Amino acid sequence: MWRNILSKSANAAEVGKANLRRERRFSTAIPGPCIVHKRGADILHDPWFNKDTGFPMTERDRLGLRGLLPPRVISFEQQYDRFMDSYHSLEKNTQGQPDGIVSLSKWRILNRLHDRNETLYYRVLIDNIKDFAPIVYTPTVGLVCQNYSGLFRRPRGMYFSAKDKGEMMSMIYNWPAHQVDMIVITDGSRILGLGDLGVQGIGIPIGKLDMYVAAAGINPQRTLPIMLDVGTNNQKLLQDPLYLGLREPRLEGEEYLSIVDEFMEAVHTRWPKAIVQFEDFQMKWAFETLQRYRKKFCMFNDDIQGTAGVALAGLLGTVRAQGRPLSDFVKQKIVVVGAGSAGLGVLSMAVQAVSKMAGSSETAANRNFYLIDKDGLVTKDRKNIDSAAAPFAKDPGDIDGLREGASLIEVVKKVKPHVLLGLSGVGGVLKAMRESDSAKPAIFAMSNPTSNAECTAAEAFKHAGGHIVFASGSPFENVDLGNGRIGHVNQANNMYLFPGIGLGSLLTGARIISDGMLQAASERLASYMTDEETQNGILFPSISRIRDVTSEVGAAVAQAAVAEELAEGHGEVGIKELMQMSKVEMVEYVARNMWFPVYSPLVHEKNGSN
Ligand SMILES: NC(=O)C1=CN([C@@H]2O[C@H](COP(=O)(O)OP(=O)(O)OC[C@H]3O[C@@H](n4cnc5c(N)ncnc54)[C@H](O)[C@@H]3O)[C@@H](O)[C@H]2O)C=CC1
Ligand SMILES: CC(=O)C(=O)O
Ligand SMILES: [Mg+2]
């Protein structure tokens, strides 16, 4: 019963917020001017400044646009409604067609707007984030990367290739914006769960930065998606005559690292305060580059660190869902499937949390965690064990008859875990979770995109039982369990953290991103939900609350940066002001600094470049 009350009040709050957004969206208050160094047709062809038919007549005169547009001025609100009408018509007209075709059609209509008019694009994205995130982000972004060479129309972001060695320091100045705050870089070597997609992986930095704009209000003119093309080992792409990247095998060893080093130096020289997010690098380079740069630059690896923070928040939420005190986290038995960058990142952060809570060593804290990869249970008997996985390998004397390489089903049957967390392939084991020691076992099928999820939401509730807590990396609909019961689906995706990690670091001018800042982000996300919500199996907020979540997470990151004396100040806000901010003031500071898309009056200034 209270579930209904809760959802009603949540709905009322959503409606209130939507009205507020609409008021703000089409408010008559005049926004501050925006300096532009272009005139005439050049403005119409620049998506940062273009307003399509929305240029007022006086602006058309000032900027040399008279006669270049049809005479009638269309308001932002009318443009917005017209776009949404076209989008809904497309939805109607593609009904019944295969999912991939529908998703790509939706991506195309959004992408065309993105290429033409960024203000309108980000406005519709922010207002409709729940519907549009699955298109610009996972799962559709995976399909876009797979088909990138065919979908390519206009470049977005920058491409640095192995052929550019020695040139990067000058190339970085080819980027037209004076200031860049947020960079997402990939080498395309592990795109979601889709493997090596070479240059086609550029879709991921673009999608992540769209989420930065929507969730964290980073000004899109200050974002920069980067593809580091060091070749590909994907044979199909190498043989494809239309493949747009370097048609040669991936660089390895020192040759590879020297390219990444050169890029990092070039970025740091031009924009010393830019934050660099590493995304979808294969495991060996994900760990290596994180160790190499984390004490030198303001950077983080989202797959290792962002994912870990979201998973930890979900694991803590699972304890609350069982109606138990958080301190019981130290007793939870957790099986992690996938010993890659994401799985090991999660384990490392979860073990640290247990060790801190229990006041024990990390070795002791590791007792209740089990790691499984494609060769089964990882133990100290494993030959050629990866050094990053070694700390989590089980002592053969400590696993109650289980052996090295034991299958997932054997491990689950023996251990009866409270949580089964997949960062690769848990299909086929769901029934065994019925024997879990927990009254509310949790299944986290975190792999992306949807086609790579370890199981669907419907499968999880059907086989493991209607009482489970379920989370997935890509979105699924809630599941109808019959008799009016709903199986709630959470989206356990690093999108709940990376925008706040980036924004909190930016607004404090953090020198580096420390473990303490990441932990603060995770803890704030974990405490975001109420007890009622967690006990109802709701571990993460709706994505429609993402800006609010980011304000909280960003503030937690900022406060940790200040406390650890890593903050150097941002713009006019110095260290002293940052230190004086209360928790509430910090949340307000973060929220106030989010960019919001409105048409600003454009003022032309000569002799510059944009
Ligand atoms: N929900 C989220 O926020 C995130 C989800 N992910 C997803 O996690 C997945 C893995 O990412 P990474 O760890 O970076 O990849 P990775 O390539 O570094 O690691 C994959 C791991 O899975 C293991 N594996 C493969 N097949 C297996 C099988 N049948 N049974 C057990 N283990 C198996 C491999 O041995 C390897 O240890 C991807 O699908 C990615 O999209 C990654 C980051 C964030
Ligand atoms: C979400 C994400 O970062 C991944 O699947 O790689
Ligand atoms: Mg990723």
Which residue has the least CA distance to atom 3 on ligand 2?
303
State whether the beta carbon of 448 lies less than 6 angstroms from ligand 2: yes
Average pLDDT over residues 26-32: 67
Using the atom order of ligand 1, give the atom closest to the CA of residue 283: 18
In this prediction, residue 132 carries a pLDDT of 98
In this prediction, residue 424 carries a pLDDT of 76
Annotated binding residues for a divalent metal cation, written as ranges, equal 279-280, 303
Q: CA–CA separation, 216 vs 122, rounded Å? A: 12
Inform me whether the pLDDT recorded for 606 exceeds 90. no
Q: CA–CA separation, 167 vs 160, rounded Å? A: 9
Annotated binding residues for (S)-malate, written as ranges, equal 190, 448, 493
Using the atom order of ligand 2, give the atom closest to the CA of residue 342: 6
The alpha carbon torsion through 481, 482, 484, 489 (nearest 10 deg) reads 10
State whether the beta carbon of 373 lies less than 6 angstroms from ligand 2: no
How much of the chain exceeds pLDDT 90, in percent? Answer: 90
In this prediction, residue 21 carries a pLDDT of 52
Which residue has the least CA distance to atom 6 on ligand 2?
192
Do the Cβ atoms of 499 and 175 come closer than 8 Å? Answer: no
Which residue has the least CA distance to atom 22 on ligand 1?
338
Do the Cβ atoms of 427 and 446 come closer than 8 Å? Answer: no
Give 306 or 12, the one with higher predicted confidence: 306
The Å distance, Cα 453 to ligand 1 centre, comes to 10
pLDDT category, 431, cuts 50, 70, 90? confident
Do the Cβ atoms of 26 and 48 come closer than 8 Å? Answer: no
Do the Cβ atoms of 522 and 349 come closer than 8 Å? Answer: yes
Inform me whether the pLDDT recorded for 2 exceeds 80. no
Inform me whether the pLDDT recorded for 14 exceeds 70. no
Q: CA–CA separation, 229 vs 168, rounded Å? A: 13
Using the atom order of ligand 1, give the atom closest to the CA of residue 474: 1
- Ligand nearest to the backbone CA of 278: 3
In this prediction, residue 10 carries a pLDDT of 38
* Residues whose CB falls within 8 Å of the CB of residue 186, separated by 6 or more in sequence, listed in order: 201, 202, 204, 205, 226, 227, 228, 278, 279, 280, 281
| CA 315 vs CA 434, 469, 498, 522, 540: distances in Å | 18, 10, 18, 11, 11
How much of the chain exceeds pLDDT 70, in percent? Answer: 94
In this prediction, residue 461 carries a pLDDT of 96
Q: CA–CA separation, 162 vs 165, rounded Å? A: 6
Helix/strand/coil for 567 = strand
Listed range (28-32, 123-127, 229-233, 435-439) with the worst mean pLDDT: 28-32
- Ligand nearest to the backbone CA of 279: 3
- Ligand nearest to the backbone CA of 305: 1
State whether the beta carbon of 409 lies less than 6 angstroms from ligand 1: no
Which residue has the least CA distance to atom 37 on ligand 1?
339
Q: What is the DSSP string of 44-78?
A: HT-TTT--GGG--HHHHHHTT-TTSS-S----HHH
The Å distance, Cα 429 to ligand 1 centre, comes to 17
The three-point CA angle 12-492-327 to 5° equals 95
Which residue has the least CA distance to atom 5 on ligand 2?
192
State whether the beta carbon of 454 lies less than 6 angstroms from ligand 1: no
Mean pLDDT of the chain, nearest integer: 93
State whether the beta carbon of 425 lies less than 6 angstroms from ligand 1: yes
Helices within 137-282 (DSSP H only): 140-146, 148-151, 168-171, 203-216, 235-239, 253-270
Listed range (28-42, 96-110, 111-125, 442-456) with the worst mean pLDDT: 28-42
In this prediction, residue 544 carries a pLDDT of 97
- Ligand nearest to the backbone CA of 345: 1
pLDDT category, 149, cuts 50, 70, 90? confident
State whether the beta carbon of 472 lies less than 6 angstroms from ligand 1: no
pLDDT tens by residue, 510-546: 999 999 999 999 999 999 999 999 999 999 999 999 9
The Å distance, Cα 278 to ligand 1 centre, comes to 16
Catalytic residues: 137, 208
Using the atom order of ligand 2, give the atom closest to the CA of residue 302: 3
State whether the beta carbon of 472 lies less than 6 angstroms from ligand 2: no
Inform me whether the pLDDT recorded for 368 exceeds 70. yes
In this prediction, residue 26 carries a pLDDT of 56
Q: CA–CA separation, 428 vs 455, rounded Å? A: 8
Tell me if ipTM is over 0.90: yes
Q: CA–CA separation, 481 vs 136, rounded Å? A: 30
Using the atom order of ligand 2, give the atom closest to the CA of residue 279: 3
The Å distance, Cα 228 to ligand 1 centre, comes to 22
State whether the beta carbon of 448 lies less than 6 angstroms from ligand 1: yes
Q: Which domains are seen in the chain, by residue range?
A: 75-297 (3.40.50.10380), 305-492 (3.40.50.720), 496-592 (no CATH)
pLDDT category, 476, cuts 50, 70, 90? very high
Do the Cβ atoms of 229 and 238 come closer than 8 Å? Answer: no
pLDDT category, 610, cuts 50, 70, 90? very low
- Ligand nearest to the backbone CA of 186: 3
Average pLDDT over residues 326-342: 96
Structure tokens of 595?
């960019």
pLDDT tens by residue, 176-217: 999 999 999 999 999 999 999 999 999 999 999 999 999 999
Using the atom order of ligand 1, give the atom closest to the CA of residue 389: 37
State whether the beta carbon of 494 lies less than 6 angstroms from ligand 1: yes
The Å distance, Cα 81 to ligand 2 centre, comes to 32
Please state the pTM of the whole predicted model: 0.94
Listed range (275-289, 389-403, 555-569) with the worst mean pLDDT: 389-403
Annotated binding residues, written as ranges, equal 190, 279-280, 303, 448, 493
State whether the beta carbon of 280 lies less than 6 angstroms from ligand 2: yes
**Ligand 3 ion local residues (Cβ < 5 A):** 279-280, 303
State whether the beta carbon of 436 lies less than 6 angstroms from ligand 2: no
